[in-house]
Chain A
Amino acid sequence: MTQADSLNLTLASDPVQLPAVRDQLRRWCDQHGWHDGQIADMVLAVDEALTNVIRHGYEGKLGGKIEFSAQITNEPDGATAVEIRVRDYGKQVPLEEICGRDLDDIRPGGLGVHIIKSIMSSSEYSHAQGGGMLLVMRMRKMDESEKADPPKRCP
Protein backbone atom coordinates (compact mmCIF):
# COMPACT_ATOMS: atom_id res chain seq x y z
CA MET A 1 0.00 0.00 0.00
CA THR A 2 1.38 3.41 -0.84
CA GLN A 3 0.91 6.27 1.56
CA ALA A 4 -0.24 9.68 0.47
CA ASP A 5 2.74 11.93 -0.15
CA SER A 6 0.94 14.82 1.43
CA LEU A 7 -1.24 15.53 4.42
CA ASN A 8 -3.66 18.40 3.96
CA LEU A 9 -5.84 19.76 6.73
CA THR A 10 -8.10 22.75 7.06
CA LEU A 11 -8.79 23.70 10.64
CA ALA A 12 -10.23 26.47 12.75
CA SER A 13 -8.19 28.70 15.04
CA ASP A 14 -9.14 26.87 18.20
CA PRO A 15 -6.79 25.23 20.72
CA VAL A 16 -9.03 22.15 20.85
CA GLN A 17 -7.82 21.32 17.33
CA LEU A 18 -4.19 20.92 18.37
CA PRO A 19 -4.18 17.34 19.74
CA ALA A 20 -5.88 15.95 16.63
CA VAL A 21 -3.42 17.70 14.31
CA ARG A 22 -0.50 16.37 16.35
CA ASP A 23 -1.93 12.84 16.17
CA GLN A 24 -2.54 13.00 12.42
CA LEU A 25 0.93 14.35 11.74
CA ARG A 26 2.53 11.67 13.96
CA ARG A 27 0.66 8.91 12.13
CA TRP A 28 1.49 10.31 8.70
CA CYS A 29 5.20 10.68 9.51
CA ASP A 30 5.26 7.19 10.99
CA GLN A 31 3.71 5.75 7.81
CA HIS A 32 6.51 7.43 5.86
CA GLY A 33 9.18 5.85 7.99
CA TRP A 34 10.34 8.84 10.02
CA HIS A 35 11.82 7.92 13.35
CA ASP A 36 10.33 8.87 16.68
CA GLY A 37 12.79 11.63 17.54
CA GLN A 38 12.27 13.54 14.32
CA ILE A 39 8.51 12.99 14.48
CA ALA A 40 8.39 14.44 17.98
CA ASP A 41 10.42 17.46 16.85
CA MET A 42 8.23 18.07 13.82
CA VAL A 43 5.03 17.73 15.85
CA LEU A 44 6.33 20.28 18.35
CA ALA A 45 7.29 22.74 15.60
CA VAL A 46 3.84 22.45 14.02
CA ASP A 47 2.14 22.85 17.40
CA GLU A 48 4.17 26.02 18.00
CA ALA A 49 3.33 27.37 14.54
CA LEU A 50 -0.40 26.76 15.02
CA THR A 51 -0.29 28.18 18.53
CA ASN A 52 1.29 31.37 17.15
CA VAL A 53 -1.42 31.64 14.50
CA ILE A 54 -4.19 31.23 17.09
CA ARG A 55 -2.58 33.62 19.58
CA HIS A 56 -1.18 36.29 17.29
CA GLY A 57 -2.65 35.88 13.79
CA TYR A 58 -6.21 35.59 15.05
CA GLU A 59 -5.53 37.18 18.46
CA GLY A 60 -7.29 34.36 20.27
CA LYS A 61 -10.48 34.59 18.22
CA LEU A 62 -12.00 31.20 17.48
CA GLY A 63 -13.02 30.07 14.01
CA GLY A 64 -10.32 31.69 11.84
CA LYS A 65 -9.26 29.52 8.92
CA ILE A 66 -5.90 27.75 8.96
CA GLU A 67 -4.61 25.62 6.11
CA PHE A 68 -1.96 23.08 6.94
CA SER A 69 -0.04 20.83 4.60
CA ALA A 70 2.88 18.46 4.94
CA GLN A 71 4.50 17.18 1.75
CA ILE A 72 7.26 14.68 1.16
CA THR A 73 9.87 16.32 -1.04
CA ASN A 74 13.54 16.16 -1.92
CA GLU A 75 16.44 18.34 -0.94
CA PRO A 76 18.76 19.58 -3.73
CA ASP A 77 21.17 16.73 -2.91
CA GLY A 78 18.38 14.17 -3.28
CA ALA A 79 17.80 13.60 0.43
CA THR A 80 14.21 13.12 1.53
CA ALA A 81 12.61 15.95 3.43
CA VAL A 82 9.21 17.13 4.49
CA GLU A 83 7.93 20.58 3.67
CA ILE A 84 5.26 21.96 5.97
CA ARG A 85 3.10 24.93 5.13
CA VAL A 86 0.90 26.79 7.60
CA ARG A 87 -1.25 29.47 6.07
CA ASP A 88 -3.70 31.72 7.89
CA TYR A 89 -5.96 34.61 6.96
CA GLY A 90 -5.40 36.62 10.10
CA LYS A 91 -3.30 39.65 10.96
CA GLN A 92 -0.18 40.28 8.92
CA VAL A 93 2.73 40.71 11.27
CA PRO A 94 5.76 42.74 10.08
CA LEU A 95 8.32 40.12 9.08
CA GLU A 96 11.12 41.83 10.99
CA GLU A 97 9.13 41.34 14.22
CA ILE A 98 9.08 37.55 13.80
CA CYS A 99 12.40 36.77 15.35
CA GLY A 100 11.69 35.40 18.78
CA ARG A 101 12.85 37.20 21.85
CA ASP A 102 16.03 37.38 23.86
CA LEU A 103 16.09 34.20 25.93
CA ASP A 104 17.89 35.96 28.75
CA ASP A 105 14.72 37.96 29.25
CA ILE A 106 12.91 35.17 31.08
CA ARG A 107 9.16 35.58 30.97
CA PRO A 108 6.16 33.65 29.69
CA GLY A 109 5.51 33.73 25.95
CA GLY A 110 7.53 34.49 22.85
CA LEU A 111 9.32 31.16 22.65
CA GLY A 112 7.50 29.57 19.71
CA VAL A 113 9.60 31.08 16.93
CA HIS A 114 12.83 30.14 18.74
CA ILE A 115 11.63 26.57 19.10
CA ILE A 116 10.68 26.32 15.41
CA LYS A 117 14.04 27.71 14.31
CA SER A 118 15.96 25.43 16.62
CA ILE A 119 14.16 22.28 15.47
CA MET A 120 13.50 22.65 11.75
CA SER A 121 16.16 22.61 9.02
CA SER A 122 14.68 25.84 7.66
CA SER A 123 11.69 28.09 8.27
CA GLU A 124 10.48 31.20 6.51
CA TYR A 125 7.53 33.49 7.15
CA SER A 126 5.98 35.61 4.43
CA HIS A 127 2.88 37.70 3.87
CA ALA A 128 0.42 35.52 1.98
CA GLN A 129 -1.27 36.86 -1.12
CA GLY A 130 -4.77 37.94 -0.20
CA GLY A 131 -3.90 38.50 3.46
CA GLY A 132 -2.63 36.49 6.38
CA MET A 133 0.69 34.79 6.90
CA LEU A 134 2.41 31.83 5.31
CA LEU A 135 5.03 29.80 7.14
CA VAL A 136 7.06 27.31 5.09
CA MET A 137 9.37 25.04 7.03
CA ARG A 138 11.39 21.98 6.09
CA MET A 139 12.97 19.07 7.90
CA ARG A 140 15.55 16.79 6.31
CA LYS A 141 14.98 13.11 6.98
CA MET A 142 17.67 11.27 8.91
CA ASP A 143 18.12 7.60 9.67
CA GLU A 144 17.66 6.65 13.27
CA SER A 145 21.25 5.44 13.33
CA GLU A 146 22.42 8.73 11.86
CA LYS A 147 23.47 10.97 14.67
CA ALA A 148 21.22 13.95 14.24
CA ASP A 149 22.37 17.17 15.75
CA PRO A 150 20.44 17.76 18.94
CA PRO A 151 17.96 20.62 18.62
CA LYS A 152 19.93 23.82 18.61
CA ARG A 153 19.83 25.82 21.79
CA CYS A 154 18.50 29.20 20.89
CA PRO A 155 21.27 31.80 20.67
Chain B
Amino acid sequence: MTEEHHNLGVRTERDPDATILYLNGEIDLRTSPRLRDAFLNLIEQKPAKIILDLSEVGYIDSSGVGTIVELKRKTARHKSKVILVALQPRVRSLFEITRLDAFFDIVETLDEARKK
Protein backbone atom coordinates (compact mmCIF):
# COMPACT_ATOMS: atom_id res chain seq x y z
CA MET B 1 0.00 0.00 0.00
CA THR B 2 1.29 3.41 -0.82
CA GLU B 3 1.89 5.62 2.18
CA GLU B 4 0.26 9.03 2.27
CA HIS B 5 3.48 11.03 1.86
CA HIS B 6 4.17 9.33 -1.47
CA ASN B 7 1.00 10.78 -2.94
CA LEU B 8 0.66 14.17 -4.54
CA GLY B 9 -1.86 16.74 -3.35
CA VAL B 10 -2.80 19.73 -5.50
CA ARG B 11 -4.80 22.65 -4.13
CA THR B 12 -5.64 25.66 -6.28
CA GLU B 13 -6.26 29.18 -5.03
CA ARG B 14 -7.06 32.15 -7.19
CA ASP B 15 -6.42 35.70 -6.13
CA PRO B 16 -6.45 38.93 -8.15
CA ASP B 17 -2.72 38.70 -8.88
CA ALA B 18 -2.22 35.05 -9.65
CA THR B 19 -3.38 31.48 -9.62
CA ILE B 20 -1.49 29.60 -6.94
CA LEU B 21 -1.04 25.83 -6.95
CA TYR B 22 -0.06 24.43 -3.58
CA LEU B 23 1.58 21.06 -4.16
CA ASN B 24 2.42 18.58 -1.46
CA GLY B 25 3.94 15.11 -1.46
CA GLU B 26 6.14 13.47 -4.08
CA ILE B 27 6.32 14.05 -7.82
CA ASP B 28 7.55 11.06 -9.81
CA LEU B 29 6.49 8.95 -12.78
CA ARG B 30 3.50 7.70 -10.78
CA THR B 31 2.15 11.08 -9.64
CA SER B 32 3.25 13.38 -12.47
CA PRO B 33 0.16 12.52 -14.61
CA ARG B 34 -1.99 14.02 -11.82
CA LEU B 35 0.13 17.15 -11.92
CA ARG B 36 -0.11 17.30 -15.69
CA ASP B 37 -3.94 17.06 -15.51
CA ALA B 38 -4.01 19.92 -13.01
CA PHE B 39 -1.78 21.98 -15.31
CA LEU B 40 -3.89 21.27 -18.39
CA ASN B 41 -7.05 22.42 -16.57
CA LEU B 42 -5.25 25.54 -15.48
CA ILE B 43 -3.84 26.38 -18.90
CA GLU B 44 -7.35 26.43 -20.38
CA GLN B 45 -8.15 29.38 -18.12
CA LYS B 46 -5.13 31.32 -19.43
CA PRO B 47 -4.12 32.90 -16.12
CA ALA B 48 -1.64 35.78 -16.37
CA LYS B 49 0.51 34.37 -13.59
CA ILE B 50 0.85 30.85 -12.19
CA ILE B 51 2.65 30.36 -8.89
CA LEU B 52 3.70 26.86 -7.89
CA ASP B 53 4.23 26.59 -4.15
CA LEU B 54 6.61 23.64 -3.75
CA SER B 55 7.32 24.10 -0.04
CA GLU B 56 5.58 20.81 0.78
CA VAL B 57 7.14 18.80 -2.03
CA GLY B 58 9.79 16.58 -0.50
CA TYR B 59 10.76 14.63 -3.59
CA ILE B 60 10.80 15.26 -7.31
CA ASP B 61 12.40 13.39 -10.19
CA SER B 62 12.87 14.14 -13.88
CA SER B 63 9.23 13.19 -14.61
CA GLY B 64 8.09 15.97 -12.29
CA VAL B 65 10.59 18.48 -13.59
CA GLY B 66 9.62 17.61 -17.16
CA THR B 67 5.95 18.19 -16.36
CA ILE B 68 6.74 21.65 -14.99
CA VAL B 69 8.85 22.42 -18.08
CA GLU B 70 5.86 21.42 -20.20
CA LEU B 71 3.61 23.80 -18.22
CA LYS B 72 5.97 26.71 -18.75
CA ARG B 73 6.30 26.06 -22.46
CA LYS B 74 2.54 25.80 -22.96
CA THR B 75 1.73 28.89 -20.93
CA ALA B 76 4.41 30.90 -22.74
CA ARG B 77 2.18 30.77 -25.83
CA HIS B 78 -0.26 33.11 -24.14
CA LYS B 79 2.42 34.95 -22.21
CA SER B 80 1.57 33.61 -18.77
CA LYS B 81 4.28 33.79 -16.14
CA VAL B 82 5.22 30.67 -14.17
CA ILE B 83 6.97 31.23 -10.85
CA LEU B 84 8.28 28.51 -8.52
CA VAL B 85 8.27 29.20 -4.80
CA ALA B 86 10.01 27.76 -1.71
CA LEU B 87 11.87 24.79 -3.15
CA GLN B 88 13.27 22.41 -0.55
CA PRO B 89 17.05 21.91 -0.93
CA ARG B 90 16.83 18.48 -2.60
CA VAL B 91 14.22 19.75 -5.03
CA ARG B 92 16.27 22.83 -5.86
CA SER B 93 19.32 20.63 -6.36
CA LEU B 94 17.59 18.75 -9.19
CA PHE B 95 16.76 22.02 -10.95
CA GLU B 96 20.41 23.04 -10.57
CA ILE B 97 22.03 19.88 -11.90
CA THR B 98 19.74 19.95 -14.92
CA ARG B 99 20.45 23.70 -15.33
CA LEU B 100 16.72 24.41 -15.23
CA ASP B 101 17.24 26.88 -12.37
CA ALA B 102 18.20 29.36 -15.10
CA PHE B 103 15.06 28.60 -17.13
CA PHE B 104 12.61 29.18 -14.27
CA ASP B 105 11.79 32.12 -12.11
CA ILE B 106 12.47 30.73 -8.60
CA VAL B 107 11.80 32.75 -5.45
CA GLU B 108 11.71 32.07 -1.73
CA THR B 109 8.30 33.39 -0.68
CA LEU B 110 4.78 33.77 -2.00
CA ASP B 111 5.00 37.52 -1.42
CA GLU B 112 8.01 37.75 -3.71
CA ALA B 113 6.17 35.71 -6.33
CA ARG B 114 3.09 37.92 -6.16
CA LYS B 115 5.21 41.02 -6.72
CA LYS B 116 6.90 39.63 -9.83
Which one, A72-80, A87-95, A111-119, A130-138, is touching chain B?
A111-119
- Residues 107-155 of A at the B interface (beta carbon under 8 Å): 107-109, 111-112, 114-115, 118-119, 150-154
B66 contact from A16, A20, A109, A150, Cβ within 8 A: A109
Report the Cα distance A51→B6, complex, angstroms. Answer: 16
The number of residue pairs between A and B whose CB atoms lie closer than 8 Å in the complex comes to 71
A45 (CB) vs chain B CBs: closest residue: B61
Q: Which residues of B contact A15 (CB under 8 A)?
A: 28-30
CB distance from A33 to the nearest CB of B (A): 20
Evaluate contact between A19 and B26: CB separation under 8 angstroms.
yes
Q: Which residues of B contact A48 (CB under 8 A)?
A: 61-62
- Residues 1-35 of B at the A interface (beta carbon under 8 Å): 2-3, 6, 26, 28-30
Main SS at interface, chain A: helix
B97 contact from A22, A54, A55, A115, Cβ within 8 A: A115
Most buried by B among A18, A40, A154: A18
A152 (CB) vs chain B CBs: closest residue: B97
Report the Cα distance A154→B3, complex, angstroms. Answer: 33
Question: Does A67 sit within 8 A of B, measured CB to CB?
Answer: no
Question: Does B110 sit within 8 A of A, measured CB to CB?
Answer: no
Using C-beta atoms within 8 Å of the partner chain, give the interface range for chain B: 20 to 34
Evaluate contact between A107 and B73: CB separation under 8 angstroms.
yes
A51 contact from B26, B62, B69, B103, Cβ within 8 A: B62
Report the Cα distance A48→B100, complex, angstroms. Answer: 17
- Residues 34-69 of B at the A interface (beta carbon under 8 Å): 59, 61-63, 65-67, 69
Using C-beta atoms within 8 Å of the partner chain, give the interface range for chain A: 20 to 34
Report the Cα distance A55→B30, complex, angstroms. Answer: 12
Question: Does A44 sit within 8 A of B, measured CB to CB?
Answer: yes
Evaluate contact between B28 and A106: CB separation under 8 angstroms.
no
A interface footprint on B92-105 (CB within 8 Å = 1, 0 otherwise): 01101111100100
Name 5 extra pairs, CB < 8 A, besides A19-B26, A54-B29, A154-B98.
A16-B30, A19-B28, A55-B29, A111-B65, A115-B62
* Nearest 3 A/B pairs, CB to CB: A108-B66, A15-B30, A19-B6
In the assembled complex, 9 residue pairs joining A and B whose CB atoms fall closer than 8 Å, in A order, are A44-B94, A51-B63, A103-B98, A106-B103, A108-B70, A115-B62, A115-B97, A153-B97, A154-B97
Residues of A that sit less than 8 Å from B by CB: 15-16, 18-20, 22-23, 40, 44, 47-48, 51, 54-55, 103, 106-109, 111-112, 114-115, 118-119, 150-154
